[in-house]
Amino acid sequence: MLVRIASFATPRSLLFRAMSSAAHVPQAKKQKLDQPKVIGTHNGTFHCDEALAVFLLRQTATYRDSEVKRTRDPAILETCDIVVDVGAVYDEHKQLFDHHQRGFTEVFGHGFETKLSSAGLVFKHFGKEVVANKTQLPQDDPKVMTLWLKMYKEFIEAIDGIDNGISQYPSDVKPKYKSRTDLSSRVGQLNPVWNQPSGPDVLDVQFAKASRLTGEEFTGKLNFYADAWLPARDLLIASIESSKRIDPSGKILVFEQFLPWKEHLFDLEAEQAMPDSDKAVYAVYPEDGGSWRVQAVPVSSESFESRKALPEAWRGLRDDTLSAASGIEGCVFVHASGFIGGNKTKEGALKLARAALEM
């Protein structure tokens, strides 16, 4: 124990008492303080949720260099600094994060209702720190909150649902095909099969591979959202403001470069509780080769239905035929469904959008 002597006089009795206390710290306690933290989880067959939970914990300051003990022995788990996916207790203060116990109903919150697995539990309590560390942003930066929620929605929630046996679809809907390439399935396939050696040492080695796999997937997804998805949101916000100089009604959005805008647009409209009468109808943006597109805003980010499709009279037409029908030079095409069209110039695409608004 380091005793710092202040610049002002310290009573000798207090100083000696502090030094005496340091000298009498039990040796076992000193060793415990010097040793790496230990993460406990169950042994035997492993799953995606605890493999990811261990990876996430190792991205935090507290558990960065932690060892892992895989066991179901309560006496050994009692010696661990944190326990995940085993022990039948969820208690944040005691650093116990299991989800198998009767009566466990914890969810992530923020509108998510899927029951948590150990991955979701760890991400709920440590995820902001992980995101901040990975992106090198301050933990109180609003972007960290945005990425924390996005990573749960797009990555963690599915792992929670699969581990807890929650069907993605109503039980009366029969899937038309099977997929075994999701992360949970790939982690499961790292377990030894029935006719392979499956002793504790083998399982521990395979678990380490599983944790690395989940970590690579998590980091790759987070990097995408931090480096590509999130900057598009900032660019969209700037484009919405600049578009008002072209179309004060806000019905036409103009992007000087292509960006993934749909999901961000719906998020922003929801955050602002924007009435339907004020929402954008068309987006105009350039494409490779120098021509420009006008795209109808869909009714939702994943819908094929448009808020206002391009006019019926233009649909399926191309080039001069379309230019004659619309009265606008330089037309290239309008899709048969009316969700998108093109013109050779920005001015021509804007004219298409403005004419479509009036029709």
Query: What mean pLDDT comes out for the span 302-320?
Result: 96
In this structure, are 160 and 22 located in the same domain?
no
End-to-end alpha carbon distance in the chain: 79
Per the structure, the complete domain to which residue 106 belongs is given by 38-164+198-227
Question: What secondary structure does DSSP assign to 68-87, as a single string?
Answer: EEE---HHHHTTSSEEES-S
Q: Residue 331 is inside which H or E element, if any?
A: strand 331-334
In this structure, are 144 and 258 located in the same domain?
no
In the chain, DSSP finds a helix count (H) and a strand count (E) of 13, 12
pLDDT value at position 33? Answer: 57
Pick the range with the lowest mean pLDDT from 8-12, 49-53, 279-283, 301-305.
8-12
- How far, in Å, CA of 68 to CA of 40, rounded? 6
Find, among 346, 316, 307, the residue nearest to 330 by Cα. Answer: 346
In this structure, are 291 and 322 located in the same domain?
yes
pLDDT value at position 12? Answer: 35
Amino acid identity, residue 37?
K
Task: Quote the mean pLDDT of the chain.
Answer: 91
Domain-embedded: residue 219: yes
Q: pLDDT band for 35, please (50, 70, 90 cuts).
A: confident
In this structure, are 83 and 216 located in the same domain?
yes
Q: Give per-residue pLDDT as tens, 158-169.
A: 999 999 999 988
Query: What mean pLDDT comes out for the span 267-285?
Result: 95
Task: Find tokens 């929801």 and name the residue.
Answer: 270
The residues with which 96 forms a beta bridge, in sequence order, are 83, 91
Q: Give per-residue pLDDT as tens, 94-136.
A: 999 999 999 999 999 999 999 999 999 999 999 999 999 999 9
Question: How many distinct structural domains can be found in the chain?
Answer: 3
In this structure, are 73 and 204 located in the same domain?
yes
Domain-embedded: residue 29: yes
Query: What mean pLDDT comes out for the span 79-87?
Result: 98
Sign of the C-alpha dihedral computed for residues 341, 344, 350 and 356 taken in this order? negative
In this structure, are 88 and 17 located in the same domain?
no
- How far, in Å, CA of 78 to CA of 41, rounded? 11
pLDDT value at position 20? Answer: 41
In this structure, are 149 and 250 located in the same domain?
no
Question: What three-state secondary structure class fits 282?
Answer: strand
- How far, in Å, CA of 211 to CA of 49, rounded? 9
pTM: predicted TM-score of the whole model, two decimal places:
0.82
Residue 2 pLDDT exceeds 50: no
Q: pLDDT band for 239, please (50, 70, 90 cuts).
A: very high
In this structure, are 101 and 31 located in the same domain?
no
Contact 214, 49 (CB under 8 A): no
In this structure, are 118 and 57 located in the same domain?
yes
Domain-embedded: residue 129: yes
Q: Residue 343 is inside which H or E element, if any?
A: strand 340-343
Q: pLDDT band for 205, please (50, 70, 90 cuts).
A: very high
Q: Per the structure block, which two tokens stand in for 47?
A: 């799953």
Residue 1 pLDDT exceeds 80: no
In this structure, are 215 and 91 located in the same domain?
yes
In this structure, are 81 and 7 located in the same domain?
no
pLDDT value at position 32? Answer: 55
In this structure, are 148 and 262 located in the same domain?
no
Domain-embedded: residue 179: no
Domain-embedded: residue 170: no
Amino acid identity, residue 165?
G
Query: What mean pLDDT comes out for the span 246-258?
Result: 95
Domain-embedded: residue 21: yes
Return phi, psi of residue 245, to 5°. -75, -25
Query: What mean pLDDT comes out for the span 297-320?
Result: 95
Domain-embedded: residue 28: yes
Q: pLDDT band for 34, please (50, 70, 90 cuts).
A: low
